[in-house]
Amino acid sequence: MQTRHRFFLALVIVVAGLLAAALLWFRSPEPATATAVAGMPPDVRTISSNHVGPGRWSAAATSEPAMADTSPPPGLAVDANQHLQVNRALRDVFDYYLLGGLPGSRSEHLAQLLAYLKSGLPALAYVDGERLARAYVAYLAAHDALLERQSVPVITPDSKMAALDADRMAVWLSQLSRLRQDRLGIDVAKIWFGDEEAESQRMLAALRSGTRIGLNAGAADPVQKGFDDLRQLRQQGASQQAQHDMMAQQFGPAAAQRFDQLGQEEQAWQERYAAYRQAADQIRQQSGTAEEDRNRQIEVLRNQAFSDDAERMRAQGMDRR
């Protein structure tokens, strides 16, 4: 049967928590609509779930749990070389299993997703799908871990955001975009979340001005342009200083300072991963040791090197590259 699950539109809540009110302000009950993915075959359609985060990514976060008589939406497609095509419909398939309210844990949901991919894809495409599925699970875990470090202030639905709150939200959106690019890759992040990020910028512009705007407003705004420029800089391999200057110009010195802090945290993590990877590679090269024993040693090493589940899942995903 056609899947009956759909996700309601949720608004991004800020670093330091500021969208308790904004969530009430912009939450929309309109049903998701099917849209064609540009460049994809005409039979490949998406069921837009419009996840705009934060909001903890869990089965409980969805508005309608997946029922026993539902089936995943169509979304599996391969190219002429038998590799998996990444499109918006594919994310709907992933979300059906990982966020659709199915019973069980996330690891069980991942196993179900991988079984579905294996049953419907050729070997090369399945390898692509498995890699992306594990990266997506790592992203969801990192997203949840990020939210746990935030606090929500008391804001009424009628209150306007202070300039500092708007700056914090701008930083959150930048941080979220960067998280997606780091975990999923720039291309996948753009295909899966580009429209939602653009919508978030329009919402931010409305919050800055204290007005409401239509969710499908097409007019360009300076906030969106700023994030588009920042994304373009990253794609071009711009230096951290160039990105800092862009953040300072568009969103102010406080936002730029937070952006630098995030960059330093990411660099520290990459250095920690490099040290772990070197030690793990040495274990892999051991002779006279069974593969199962080597994998067990690497798992112990990973648990020692990374303090939380999100970091361990990210490292495990990078190990497969």
Other CB atoms within 10 Å distance of the CB of residue 243? 20
Of the two residues 16 and 68, the one the predictor is more confident about is: 68
Check if the beta carbon of residue 175 is closer than 8 Å to that of residue 262. Answer: yes
Does 77 have pLDDT greater than 90?
yes
* Percent residues over pLDDT 90 in the chain: 25
Tokens matching residue 302: 């990973």
Q: What is the pTM of this model?
A: 0.51
Q: Which residues contact 58 (CB under 8 A, 6 or more apart)?
A: 99, 106, 144
User: Where residue 55 falls among pLDDT bands split at 50, 70, 90?
Assistant: very low
pLDDT for residue 247 is more than 70:
yes
CB hemisphere CA count around 237 (13 angstroms): 0
Closest C-alpha among 131, 135, 3 to residue 73: 3
- Can you tell me the distance from the alpha carbon of 290 to that of 67, in angstroms, rounded to the nearest whole number? 43
Average pLDDT of the segment spanning 252-260: 73
Listed as own residue / partner, the contacts of 25-32 with beta carbons closer than 8 Å and 24 or more positions apart are 25/157, 25/212, 26/203, 26/212, 26/215, 28/215, 31/6, 32/6, 32/7
Task: Say what the pLDDT of residue 213 is.
Answer: 43
Phi, psi of 152 (to 5 degrees): -110, 115
* C-beta of residue 89 within 8 angstroms of C-beta of residue 73: yes
Extract the tokens encoding 16: 């330091």
Beta strand spans in the chain (E): 34-36, 45-47
Work out whether the CA dihedral 146, 138, 273, 184 comes out positive or negative: negative
Residue 21, pLDDT score: 36
Q: What would the mean pLDDT of 23-35 be, rounded to a whole number?
A: 34
- As given in the structure block, the two tokens for residue 26 are 């912009």
Average pLDDT value for residue range 242-258: 74
- Using an 8 Å Cβ cutoff, are 79 and 21 in contact? no
Are 10 and 27 in contact, with CB atoms under 8 Å apart? yes
On the question of pLDDT at 240 being above 80, the answer is no
Instruction: Give the torsion sign (CA, 81, 82, 83, 89).
Output: positive
Give the burial class of 18: count Cβ atoms within 10 A of its Cβ; 0-12 exposed, 13-18 middle, 19 or more buried: buried
**In DSSP terms, which residues pair with 46 in a beta bridge?**
35
Of 202, 203, 184, 204, which Cα lies nearest the Cα of 193? 184
Indicate the SS3 state at residue 289.
coil
Top-confidence residue, 253 or 24: 253
pLDDT in tens, 181-234: 989 999 999 999 998 888 888 877 777 776 444 434 444 555 556 666 766 776
H helices present in the chain, as ranges: 20-26, 88-99, 106-120, 123-148, 163-184, 186-209, 222-235, 240-251, 253-284, 291-305, 309-319
Only one residue has tokens 């373009």, namely: 232
**Residue ranges of domains in the chain:** 15-148, 163-264, 273-319
What confidence score (pLDDT) does residue 54 get?
A: 40
Q: Which of 138-152, 159-173, 260-274 has the lowest mean pLDDT?
A: 159-173
